[in-house]
Amino acid sequence: MYSKLSDKKIILSLNKAPEFEEFLSVIKVTKGTYAAGILWGIYRNIFVYSSELRSEYKRYYSVEYTSFEEYLFKKVGIQVKDLKFDLKYVFLFKPSHLLIDEMFDDNYLDDVLNVLGGEFEN
């Protein structure tokens, strides 16, 4: 599941962080093609140029903050209602790829995030 934050960043929680090949497979795109190149840009925006907050919490902040929720609120500055905090991965990113940038009306951010949620949330 995902939430849109006020600074246009997205917080996305999943139970699995897909490899790029898995991402291609779910979207039914052949590796090494032009469409795969487009999806690499989107994948990179979400999974590479992002922060995975749960691992950052575990590695650096679990002594300082007693819970992940407290770390999110006090350190990262976000409070997200109804976020499934029990999921393994919590990505924070700002959509900048033109096909998922909400600056344009005709963007596919929700579609991409719904595909990811449907496939990798459980």
Partner 1 sequence: MSWEVNLKIKSDFISNSSSTSFIYIARKDFTKEAFYEMIGVSPESPLSHMFEKLYNVLSNGIQGGEHLNESRLKDLTNDFTNDVIQKAKQALLDGEQVVKGSLDSETDGPESFLCMDVFEIKSQDLYINGFDNYW
Do the Cβ atoms of 87 and 15 come closer than 8 Å? yes
Q: Which residues ranging from 19 to 38 are in contact with partner 1 (CB under 8 A)?
A: 26-38
- Classify residue 17 as left (phi > 0), alpha (psi -120 to 50) or beta: beta
Structure tokens at 106: 């005709």
What is the three-class DSSP state of 32? coil
Show the binding pattern over residues 45-84: x = contacts partner 1 (CB under 8 A), - = does not.
----------------------------------------
Nearer to partner 1, 7 or 106 (CB): 106
Stretch in the footprint of partner 1 (CB under 8 A) among 7-15, 57-65, 80-88, 99-107? 99-107
What tokens does 46 get?
């979400």
Q: Which stretch binds partner 1 (CB under 8 A): 53-61, 69-77, 78-86, 96-104?
A: 96-104
Q: Which residues pair with 12 in a beta bridge?
A: 2, 91
